[in-house]
Amino acid sequence: MKAGTVALIGRPNVGKSTLVNNIVGQKVAITSPKPQTTRFPINALFEDERGQIIFVDTPGIFNKAKDPLAKKINKKTLSMFNDEIDVFLYIVDHTRRRDFEEAKILGLMRKVNKPKILVVNKIEIKDPTFLPQYEFLKDEFKDFFYISALNSKHIKPLLDKIFEYLPEREKIINKDEYVYPALNMDSKTFISELIREKVFLRTRKEVPYTTTVVIDEITERNKQLTYIKARVLTTDDRYKKILIGKNGRRIKEIGSMARRELELATSKKIYLDLHVETDKHWVNTLT
C-alpha cells in the first residue's frame, strides 16, 4: 500500500479548498468567492484500496502581507516547505492574469526538490482566460493536468499520478481516531469555520477579514437536539452593525445558513445561539 502527504500551493482563491472538499467527498475546508478564506493549513484524508493521501490545504500566499493576520497566515504556509511533504500540487487559475504574487509562488516551487504537479484549475470557465500566460509552466513541470475542481472533472487521473509518487508504506492514519475526514480539526473548530464561511458569503468585501468565530458551548440536549452557543468577533463597532444588519436580519441569515448545513452534516436538529461582539484584539490571540 502507498501513503503520504500532498500539499496544495497557490494564490488565494485558485480553488484549493474546493479541490480538497471534492476529492474527499465531504466539506473539510470552507470556500467563498473571496480570497484568503482559509486561515490555517487543513489536513484531510483520502483513502481507497491503493492507500492513503493526506491533503494539506494551505492558505493562499500573499505577495505583500499588510496586516498582522495576513503575516501570520503567510508564516504558517511558508513553514510547510520544511515539513514532511511527499508531493506538491501547484494550482493556478487561468481566469486571472499572472502577476508578482504568482511569480513569488513559482519561485518557491522552483526550490522544492520533491515531486511537483502543475494543476490548471477552473477549466469550466472559458472566458476570461489568460491560459497563454501559463503555458510556459508545462516546460518546468514533468506532470500537468487541466481540471475543474468545482465539477470534479479530470480528478481521477490526477489522483492516479499522485499515487505513483507516494512511497510504499503502511497506513499512517487510523481514521477512527479523528473527526474524519478532517485530521486537525475538532468539532468546535469545524463549526467555527463553517459559521465563518457564512460570514464570508453574507457580508461586504471588507468585513470577513475582520472577523473570527468562537464556540463557547456544544451540548447534546437529547439524541435529536444539539445546542451550540457561538460568537462572531469583529474588530470595530461599525463592522458589528453590518454583521447584525437591520433588525438583526443579517446575523439571522448567517445563523440560519450555518444551522441548515450543520443539520445536514450531523443528521440532528441544531439550536444555534449566535451573537456578534466587538473585540479589537482578537487577531493577537492567533498562534
**Domain presence at residue 17:** yes
Asked if residue 220 and residue 163 are part of one domain, the reply reads no
Asked if residue 128 and residue 192 are part of one domain, the reply reads no
Residues 6+ apart with CB under 8 A from 149: 15, 18, 19, 22, 121, 122, 155
> Do the Cβ atoms of 225 and 269 come closer than 8 Å?
yes
277 DSSP β-pair partners:
233
**Looking at residue 68, what is its pLDDT?**
52
229 is known to lie in a ligand binding site: no
128 is known to lie in a ligand binding site: no
**Looking at residue 286, what is its pLDDT?**
55
Is the previous residue joined to 68 through a cis bond, with omega within 30 degrees of 0? no
In terms of Cβ atoms closer than 10 Å to its own Cβ (0-12, 13-18, 19+), residue 232 is: buried
59 is known to lie in a ligand binding site: yes
167 is known to lie in a ligand binding site: no
4 is known to lie in a ligand binding site: no
222 is known to lie in a ligand binding site: no
104 is known to lie in a ligand binding site: no
202 is known to lie in a ligand binding site: no
Asked if residue 228 and residue 137 are part of one domain, the reply reads no
168 is known to lie in a ligand binding site: no
266 is known to lie in a ligand binding site: no
Last residue of a domain, one of 128, 143, 177: 177
- State how far the alpha carbon of 228 is from the alpha carbons of 78, 82, 104, 170, 279, in Å: 34, 38, 42, 38, 21
**Residue 154 carries which DSSP code?**
T
C-alpha cell at 37: 478564506
Global pTM reads 0.64
Last residue of a domain, one of 120, 146, 177: 177
**Domain presence at residue 265:** yes
Nearest in space to 91 (alpha carbons), one of 122, 136, 56, 121: 121
**Domain presence at residue 164:** yes
Taking only the tens of pLDDT, the chain with its 287 residues reads 999 888 888 888 888 888 988 888 766 554 545 444 555 566 788 888 999 888 887 765 544 545 454 555 455 555 556 567 899 999 999 999 998 888 888 888 888 888 999 999 999 999 999 999 999 999 999 999 999 999 999 999 999 999 999 999 888 777 665 544 455 567 787 788 788 888 888 886 667 667 888 889 989 888 888 999 999 998 889 888 988 989 999 999 999 988 988 887 777 899 999 999 998 887 776 54
Domain count, the chain: 2
Asked if residue 236 and residue 154 are part of one domain, the reply reads no
Find the CATH number of the domain harbouring 104. 3.40.50.300
Last residue of a domain, one of 125, 146, 177: 177
**Looking at residue 130, what is its pLDDT?**
94
124 is known to lie in a ligand binding site: yes
**Looking at residue 62, what is its pLDDT?**
47
**Looking at residue 180, what is its pLDDT?**
45
**Looking at residue 77, what is its pLDDT?**
54
**Looking at residue 63, what is its pLDDT?**
47
Note down the domain range covering 194.
187-285
> Do the Cβ atoms of 8 and 41 come closer than 8 Å?
no
Asked if residue 75 and residue 48 are part of one domain, the reply reads yes
> Do the Cβ atoms of 39 and 199 come closer than 8 Å?
no
Asked if residue 98 and residue 32 are part of one domain, the reply reads yes
12 is known to lie in a ligand binding site: yes
10 is known to lie in a ligand binding site: yes
121 is known to lie in a ligand binding site: yes
Asked if residue 225 and residue 206 are part of one domain, the reply reads yes
